[in-house]
Amino acid sequence: MILRIGTRGSRLALAQAHAIAGALHDVGADVEVVPMRTEGDRRLDARLADVGGKGLFVREIEEALLAGRVDVAVHSLKDLPAEVPDGLDLAAFPEREDPRDVLVTAAGGGLEDLRAGAVIGTSSLRRRALVLASRPDLVVEPLRGNVDTRLAKLAAGECDAVLLAAAGLRRLGISPAHCRALSVETFVPAVGQGILGVQIRRDDAGARRLVARLDHSDTRACALAERGYLRRLGASCNTPIAAHATLDRAGDRPRLRMTAVVASEDGRRVLRADAAGMPADAERVGRGLAELLLERGAETVTALAPSRWWP
């Protein structure tokens, strides 16, 4: 039996899918990568927030998985809505890649070095909000397309800087000349940034047995905490929120530590909070952090639809 892996057809998505295919091959699976074109790929001229958010990049792949046209789906976890369709499971979270955002500039330097009025390109409302919160004198313009396209637009002078995910650059083997990583403490990453989610049909015991061997326990705890936060807030993947969890193993017992942000799109209002707990309670930690921010007025900062139900 060949395990068919569904993925978007972009260069980055294919690199991620082939990495998972290689890992599955190493544990004894015969694999085939099946590229798919999603609605999000077909509508690259539109602003994500206006056409349904990042869920547009996964819907068709999940439908193919449910229909049995593929057996495994590989997603960038930050693209996945909080609710997974009934009948599907996220069965593995391989070890996290660098979760940071990076600023790529034409001339070098960091965010603080950009001139007033400099144009930064990004399609992320989170990145827009965090940039404007620290540098309200900058101009943030929508910028879509794959990594190569965005870097080409920077080189062509269409903007002074672009914001990208470090994980994507690393997975593609791209090292721009003027690239500076941004601190996760101040420029908090998106939920799931740097993590791959490997999805299967819930009743596919064979795929589950193979895929489970790729799971990384520390990454799973962080993923569950961050997605618990996302789910409790009822935020979409393109809402200006952020959350980043890490495992601290310095003491006798590992501790899950998490920082989260809810912001207005213009960056004028930013709520931040931190929490900690045991890795076994990861989802509860994430949910509690969301509740803390809700108590502080998160629903007045940006559009949310908090979930009242929790298993």
Q: What is the pLDDT of residues 24-36, one digit of tens each?
A: 999 999 999 999 9
Contact call for residues 200 and 207 (beta carbons, < 8 A)? yes
Structure confidence by residue, pLDDT tens digits, 106-158: 989 999 999 999 999 998 999 999 999 999 999 999 998 889 999 999 999 99
Query: Residue 145: its pLDDT value, please?
Result: 86
Q: In what order do the strands lie in the sheet with 88-92?
A: 30-36, 2-8, 72-76, 196-201, 88-92
* Cβ proximity of 75 and 196 under 8 Å: yes
Q: Which residue has the higher pLDDT, 47 or 292?
A: 292
What average pLDDT does the segment 155-181 reach?
96
Residues 189-234: tens digit of each pLDDT: 999 999 999 999 999 999 999 999 999 999 999 999 999 999 999 9
Confidence label for 235 from pLDDT (cuts 50, 70 and 90):
confident
- The catalytic residues are 79
With beta carbons less than 8 A apart as the criterion, state whether 228 and 283 touch.
Answer: yes
Average pLDDT over residues 287-303: 96
Question: To the nearest whole percent, how much of the chain has pLDDT over 90?
Answer: 83
Rounded mean pLDDT of 179-185?
Answer: 96
- 201-211 pLDDT, tens per residue? 999 999 999 99
pLDDT of residue 250: 84
Alpha helices in 120-203 (DSSP H): 125-134, 147-155, 166-172
Lowest average pLDDT, out of 41-50, 76-85, 150-159, 217-226, goes to 41-50
Is the pLDDT at 308 greater than 80? The verdict is no
Query: Quick one: DSSP state of residue 79?
Result: G
> Contact at 8 Å (CB) between 260 and 235?
no
pLDDT of residue 51: 45
pLDDT exceeds 70 at position 258: yes
Return d(Cα 128, Cα 264) in angstroms, integer.
10
pLDDT exceeds 70 at position 49: no
Which of 103, 45, 55 minimizes the C-alpha distance to 238? 55
* C-alpha to C-alpha distance for 117 and 125, rounded to whole angstroms: 19
Query: Residue 40: is its pLDDT beyond 90?
Result: no
pLDDT number for residue 73: 97
**Residue 309: per-residue pLDDT:** 52
How large a percentage of the chain has pLDDT more than 70? 92
Sort 227 into a burial class: Cβ within 10 Å, 0-12 / 13-18 / 19+.
buried
Distances (CA, A) of 253 to 185, 248, 277: 23, 9, 10
What is the predicted pLDDT for the residue at 50? Answer: 47
Who wins on pLDDT, 296 or 51?
A: 296
